Amino acid sequence: MRSTISIFIRTRCKRLLALALCLLLIPRAAGASFLTDVGLHIGIISVATTRVNPLTPVEREFMSITDLIYEGLMYLDDNYQPQPCLAERYTSSTDGKTWFFYLREDARFHDGTTLTAYDVAATAQEILRLAEEGQGRYQTLKYFITSIEASDARTVVVRTNRANYGFLFAMTFPVLKASEVQADNPVGTGAYYLDIFEPGTYMLLSAYSGWRQNLPENRQILVNFFSTSRELISAYEYSNVDAVLTRAITAAQYRTGVSSYNIDFRTTQLETLLMNNSASELNDVRVRQAIRYMIDMDDIVNNVYYGMVTRTDTPLIPGTWTYWDAPYQQEYNKQRANQLLDEAGWDQFTESAAGNQVRTRTVNGKQANLHLRFYVYEEQDNSVRVEVANRISDSLLEVGIECSVTTLTYKEAAEKLKAGSYDLCLAAYNIDFTPDPGYLLISGNTGNYMRYKSGDMDSLIQTKLRGAMDYAAYSQALKEIQNLFWQDCPLVCLYYRNGSILTRRMFTSARDVREPEVLRGIEYFGQ
C-alpha cells in the first residue's frame, strides 16, 4: 500500500501544477482539461461547504458527492432494505437489545490502514456528541443506541434503545477513521478518495485502487461548484460539464433524448400541509378531511412543480416496501368536501369583510366564521411554495373556507409552529433514513406540530412498530399506522420533492435513485 500512497502523492502534485496553469489561462469550468478519458465531469451548487466531513454537511447536493467517499456498516439497496456493507454480517441477542457487527477483513481506508471496530465506535460516539449539541445529519442515532463499543478489532457491539428492525437503517452512517472524526477532510473507505478540494471552486475524486471491489469504470470524478441554478444549467447547456445534479424546477424542461438523459431522483424533503388539530375550527376530523378533498394535486404537480415531485398520501415513501397498498388515495372532490363540512356543523354562510361567502356555525350563542390563518415560508431552492399556498387557499374558498395567507421567514414559521399559533402551514420535513414516523405522529413528540393526539397511534408506533424484530412484522405495523393516519387526517402529506440528474452519459444502473445516494452505482457501471 505504501507504493500506492506514493503514486497518489506524485500524481496529486502533478495535477495541482496542471490546474494552476489551467487557472491562469482558461475559465474555471475548463478544469476538465486534467480529467482522464475515463472521467466524469459533474456540476452542483455549493457555496457554503468548506469541509468534506460527512457527519456535518451543510448542503444537500454535496452529500451526494461525499457518499462516494464514505461507507457505513450497512447500506440500503434498490428495495430500500438494509444490507451489510463494511459489516460482513451481523447478529442480535434474543431480546433484540444487543447487536454484534462483524467487519470485513478487506475494508481499508484511503491511507491504506485497515478499518477496525474502534473506528466504527469512535465515529458513532462523535455522532452522539454532535447530537447532544443539536448538530449533524445523523443525530437521530441517539434515539437508537445506548452504547457502542469494540469488543475486539473486528467486532462492534451495540446496545439499543429500540429493539426493532428499524435499528438497522440507523447503522448506515458513514464510518470515519477514529483519529479523524473531527477532521475537515477525513479519509474514507469508499470507491473514491478525495484527491483535491478547493471550496467554492471544485473537487477531484479519484478511484481508490485499494477498494475491496473492482476498480470503478469512471476513474475520476471532477465536480465543479456553482453559486446559482442559472449558472449550473448554463454550464450543462454549453457542455462545460457532463452532468449536473439539481432540484431547480427549470430542469423539468429537459427531457430524455438521443444525446441527453434526465434522471429523476427522490429527495428526503417531504412537503406537507400542517393543520393545527387543537384549533377550534380544525379539531373535527371531518373539517380536516374536507380540506384534504379540496387540494387539487394534479394541478399543483403538473402546473407548479412540472412533475418534479413524487406524490404521497402518507409520510412513508411511495414505491418502497414501507408504503401502504390501500385501494383509495388523495383526490379532489368538492361534493364530498361540502358534505363533510355540513356534517361538521359548518352549514351556514355569511359574507366576510373581504366580501367572500364564508361558512359559519353557532358556538355558545355566538357566530363563528370558518376563517383560517395560513402561513407559508419560502426557501432558496423552493420558490413556488407561496404559489401552492395561494392555489390551496383559492380552492378552499370554493367550499366556504376563507384563509389569510401570510409569507414568513423560516425562523418566523418555526416559532409559530412551536407555539401552536397557526391554523394551516405549508412546511417541509427532512425525513430520516429509518421508516419510523413516530417523531411526527406520537403525542407530544418533537415533530408533531399539529398537536395530534391518539392513544391508538401511540400504541401502534411505540409498541407494535418498535417491537417488531423482522421485516414482515415491521411492514405490517407500518401499514396499520398509515391506515390510521389516513382516517385521522392530522395533516396532509403532499409530495416528496424530486431532483434531476441531467447527463449526456448514462452512468448508473440503480433502480431506486434517491438522496443522498444520488450517484449510487456509478462505481459499478459498465463492469
pLDDT one-digit tens code per residue, 198-207: 999 999 999 9
One domain for residues 199 and 314:
no
Residue 502 lies in a domain: no
One domain for residues 278 and 399:
yes
Domain of residue 486, CATH code: 3.10.105.10
One domain for residues 196 and 322:
no
One domain for residues 385 and 486:
yes
The distance between the two most distant Cα atoms of the chain, rounded to a whole number of Å, is: 87
One domain for residues 350 and 217:
no
* pLDDT tens, position by position, 45-62: 999 999 999 999 999 999
One domain for residues 345 and 492:
yes
Non-local (6+) Cβ contacts of 475 within 8 A are 321, 322
One domain for residues 301 and 390:
yes
One domain for residues 373 and 443:
yes
C-alpha cell at 243: 452532468
Residue 107 lies in a domain: no
State residue 268's pLDDT score: 93
One domain for residues 205 and 350:
no
Residue 468 lies in a domain: yes
Q: Which residues of the chain have pLDDT under 50?
A: 1-32, 526-527
State residue 28's pLDDT score: 39
Q: How far is CA 489 from CA 32, 58, 257, 318, in A?
A: 52, 33, 41, 18
Domain of residue 209, CATH code: 3.40.190
State residue 37's pLDDT score: 63
Domain span holding position 205: 1-53+62-69+190-242+518-527
Distance CA 399, CA 386 (A): 21
State residue 190's pLDDT score: 97
Residue 97 lies in a domain: no
Residue 257 lies in a domain: no
Q: Which is nearest to 524 in space by CA: 516, 511, 465? A: 511
One domain for residues 340 and 384:
yes
State residue 29's pLDDT score: 42
Residue 84 lies in a domain: no
Residue 471 lies in a domain: yes
Q: Tell me the three-class secondary structure of 331-356, residue by residue.
A: CCCHHHHHHHHHHCCCCEEEECCCCC
Distance CA 275, CA 266 (A): 25
Which residue type does 471 have? Y
pTM: 0.89
One domain for residues 492 and 522:
no
Please state the domain count of the chain. Answer: 2
One domain for residues 274 and 356:
yes
Residue 475 lies in a domain: yes
